[in-house]
């Protein structure tokens, strides 16, 4: 169990650790697709994400609050060997870090949300979804270790599935499971009919 804050110099931050089955390099390159990582937050609905040369304009809605928090802001992204930093132009949250940390043969993803030390805004600006985001990423990485072996699956994930809203992804997943179960039942039925 890791209880030490990943950024002890921050006095006002929240963080979550996500174990993955990826190595450091694979996890780092996955996290460089910042939009994809954000879209895996089940409480964050991204309305638009427009990238420019040195910044990105985003508009999203966070439904982890009693009243959903809508925000339009500009972000800048920087990266070094094991850390990606997303800086926000406005709001109580000033930075989000994706930190890749080696854990035996695999790597952990640590997400740190940093807030203004003297934030005077209400608690409604605090993102309450970070732990749910971590759980969603954990489930995704568990499935991804098997799915990434399927040809063209990354294109399906990047161009279709990840672009859906969180609710649409849940519905798609349920429909996929139902379809798989129906196909298995139909295959067993055909086998039984052929045997008889």
Cβ atoms 22, 141 nearer than 8 A: yes
How confident is the model at residue 78, as a pLDDT?
A: 94
How confident is the model at residue 119, as a pLDDT?
A: 58
How confident is the model at residue 34, as a pLDDT?
A: 94
Of the listed ranges 12-26, 48-62, 157-171, the one predicted with least confidence: 157-171
* pTM, 2 dp: 0.79
How confident is the model at residue 147, as a pLDDT?
A: 73
Radius of gyration of the chain (CA): 20
- Mean of per-residue pLDDT scores for the chain: 84
Q: Give backbone dihedrals phi and psi of 38, rounded to 5 degrees, phi first.
A: -65, -40
Cβ atoms 110, 101 nearer than 8 A: yes
CB proximity list for 118: less than 8 A, separation 6 or greater: none
Q: pLDDT band at 6, cuts 50/70/90? A: confident
Cβ atoms 61, 79 nearer than 8 A: no
Whether the per-residue pLDDT at 1 is higher than 60: the answer is: no
How confident is the model at residue 127, as a pLDDT?
A: 82
Q: Higher pLDDT residue, 65 or 106?
A: 106
Mean pLDDT of the region 56-80? 87
Find where tokens 């993803």 sit: 109
| CA 44 and chain centroid, separation | 10
Digit-coded pLDDT (tens) for 73-111: 999 999 988 999 999 998 889 999 999 999 888 999 999
Whether the per-residue pLDDT at 120 is higher than 60: the answer is: no
Digit-coded pLDDT (tens) for 137-188: 999 888 877 777 777 777 777 677 667 666 766 777 777 778 888 888 888 8
Q: Give backbone dihedrals phi and psi of 126, rounded to 5 degrees, phi first.
A: -80, 130
What is the Cα–Cα distance from 39 to 30, expressed in whole angstroms?
A: 13
Q: pLDDT band at 193, cuts 50/70/90? A: confident
Mean pLDDT of the region 30-53? 91
């Amino acid at each position: 169990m890791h209880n030490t804050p990943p950024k002890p110099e921050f006095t006002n931050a929240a963080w979550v650790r996500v174990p993955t089955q990826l190595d450091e390099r694979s996890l780092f390159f996955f996290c460089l697709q910042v939009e994809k990582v954000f879209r895996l937050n089940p409480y964050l609905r991204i309305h638009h994400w427009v990238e420019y040369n040195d910044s990105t304009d985003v508009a999203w809605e966070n439904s982890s609050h009693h009243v959903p928090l809508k925000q339009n802001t500009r972000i800048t992204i920087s990266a070094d060997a094991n850390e990606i930093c997303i800086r926000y132009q406005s709001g109580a949250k000033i930075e989000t870090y994706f930190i890749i940390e080696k854990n035996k043969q695999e790597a952990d993803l640590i997400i740190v949300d940093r807030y203004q030390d003297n934030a005077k805004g209400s608690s409604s600006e605090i993102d309450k979804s970070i732990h749910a985001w971590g759980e969603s990423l954990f489930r995704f990485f568990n499935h991804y270790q098997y799915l990434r072996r399927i040809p063209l699956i990354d294109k399906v994930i990047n161009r279709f599935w990840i672009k859906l809203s969180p609710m649409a992804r849940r519905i798609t997943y349920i429909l996929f499971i139902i379809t798989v179960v129906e196909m298995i039942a139909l295959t067993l039925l055909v086998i039984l009919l052929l045997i008889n």
